[in-house]
Amino acid sequence: MSIKKILKDVFYSFYWLIFVLVFLDQLTKGIALKHLADNRIVHIIGDFLTLKLERNTGAAFSILQGNMVFLAILSAVAGAAMIAYRIYARKRLDLAQKIIFAIIIAGTFGNFIDRAFYSLITGEEGVVDFISFTFGTWSFPTFNVADMCLTLGVIAYVVLIYIEDKIARNKRDVPLIIEGDVKETVVSEESVNEKDINEVKEDEVERK
């Protein structure tokens, strides 16, 4: 196998995308820890989009607060299961599915690293969140790059399933339509032939 073929297979497997997104997630969290300490708030778009450091001991968007150990185990199991399925079904997955799985896996392991190791490294528990949206009196739960990967990946997967199911249904309906048209055409031709035969018989009767 040539090097070109190996590189092509590696690229289209999109395993590398997992590492890129996990690295981006951890890099942005590291920057947040360094530059957003002491309750510092950075306004990107007024009060609508701000950066502020928060520790989340729950799941994405602050769900299930205070369940760090459970969520760490859940993240590890879910991530391992997705990787196992990704490897098992590698020949059946199309390009879009490979990309989506890579994004979801990256999001899972990005937050797993925080839950499993950050307390050992920084002495503080909790996933590092730092992106915040506020509209008037309403504030969206603070999140991070891993949360974005998980959310967008799941939404994209649901949309993809819907589109693929719709395409499959359309393909199943096409033969029925064609078959119906053929039957209708055959019936029409038979009706015309019967009409011609009847007209010929009537002419013969009149001649007699």
In whole angstroms, what is the distance from residue 116 CA to residue 76 CA? 9
Beta bridge partners of 132: 50
Spatial contact of 168 and 126, defined as CB atoms under 8 Å apart: no
Element (H, E) at 130: strand 127-135
How many helices (H) and strands (E) are present in the chain, helices listed first?
5, 4
Q: Which of 9, 38, 47, 147 is catalytic?
A: 147
For 90, phi then psi, to 5°, come to -60, -30
Choosing from 47, 94, 129, 196, the catalytic residue is: 129
Q: Among this protein's residues, is 94 annotated catalytic?
A: no
DSSP secondary structure letter of residue 164: H
List for the chain the helix, strand, coil content (%; round to 5): 70, 15, 15
Instruction: Mark 133-144 as b/e (b = at least 16 C-beta within 10 Å).
Output: eeeeeeeebbbb
The question of whether 129 is a catalytic residue gets the answer yes
Residues identified as active-site: 129, 147
